[in-house]
Amino acid sequence: MNIRINLFCSLCLLAMVVPFNLKADGQVVDRIYHPYVLANEHRVEWRFMSRQTDDENFLAQRIGFGHSINDRWILELYLIGERDIDGDFGLEAYELEARWMMTEQGRYWADWGMVFELEKRQGSDQWETASGLVLEKEFGRNSLTLNWFMIYEWGREIQDELESEFRLQYRYRWMPQVQPSIELYSGEDYIGIGPALMGLQRFDGQKQLKWELGFITELSNIGKDHTLRFVLEYEF
């Protein structure tokens, strides 16, 4: 396990200092993944993201449904909608996501997981696959979460590319319903940081409602570049 820890720390350092390439849509800010999976878990998720710059006003939403195969793996299917240059909003892509909880929670120095994604753009021969390493360390009421993604794009209408992204979240678990945090995102010509707030409300059994709200400001370029992200998730 020490080898895994040292390897991931090295990758995180590399991710922050080497140049990054962005995803095809140029959007670096997204949700930060945690490594945990519950057995017999079902989930419905809605994500909203709005990015405003001096040149554009990008809007994207996604609806997803997931089901855990066992206590280590969960599969999710997403429908992704975006607003085009004419201001019309429509279905733009489909995505299949698998998450793997590599270690039992609390057993090692940190909790480890992986994320695998396959995306197909609507009406075009354009594909994207991604694999991400996830680490979360809890100390007292504090949590530090790191995501490091490698992304590959291919298709008839785009140039094949290997890309990378890095995400970090420091969170204070004040109470289940209110957990303030600071988030950092890194990509080519992009470094964004900002505050976020998340929480959850538990119900009977393993039913719970989770929410996240973050406001990220880009730091590496001159000019306006703000991203608002929101996630609402119901697990049952």
pLDDT in tens, 191-231: 999 999 999 999 998 899 999 999 999 997 788 999 999 99
Mean pLDDT estimate for the chain: 89
- Whether the Cβ atoms of residue 169 and residue 144 lie closer than 8 Å to each other: yes
pLDDT at 10: 45
Mean pLDDT of 157-175: 93
Q: What is the mean pLDDT of residues 2-13?
A: 46
Q: How far apart are CA 85 and CA 93, in angstroms?
A: 16
Q: What is the pLDDT of residue 154?
A: 95
Among 5-14, 111-120, 126-135, the least confident range: 5-14
| pLDDT recorded at residue 86 | 76
Q: Is the pLDDT of residue 43 over 90?
A: yes
Burial grade of 90 (CB within 10 A; 0-12, 13-18, 19 or more): exposed
Count CA atoms closer than 13 A to 26's CA, side-chain side.
12
For the ranges 123-127, 175-179, 207-211, which has the lowest average pLDDT? 123-127
**pLDDT reported for residue 165:** 95
Q: Span 36-64, mean pLDDT? A: 94
pLDDT at residue 19 tops 60? no
pLDDT band at 14 (very low <50, low <70, confident <90, very high): very low
Instruction: Look at 225 and 21; give whichever has higher pLDDT.
Output: 225
Collapse the DSSP code of 3 into the 3-class scheme (helix H, G, I; strand E, B; otherwise coil) and give the result.
helix
pTM of structure? 0.86
d(CA 83, CA 70): 36
CA–CA distance, 1 with 13 (Å, rounded to integer): 19
- Mean pLDDT value of segment 47-57: 92
Residue 163 confidence (pLDDT): 87
**pLDDT confidence of residue 56:** 84
Mean pLDDT of 105-109: 94
The structural architecture, per CATH, of the domain 2-235 is Beta Barrel (2.40)
AA letter at 188: E
Look at residue 26 in the predicted model and tell me its pLDDT: 62
User: Burial of 104 by CB count in 10 Å (0-12 exposed, 13-18 middle, 19+ buried)?
Assistant: exposed
Q: Please list the helix, strand and coil fractions of the chain in percent, rounded to the nearest 5, in that order.
A: 5, 60, 30
Length of the chain: 236
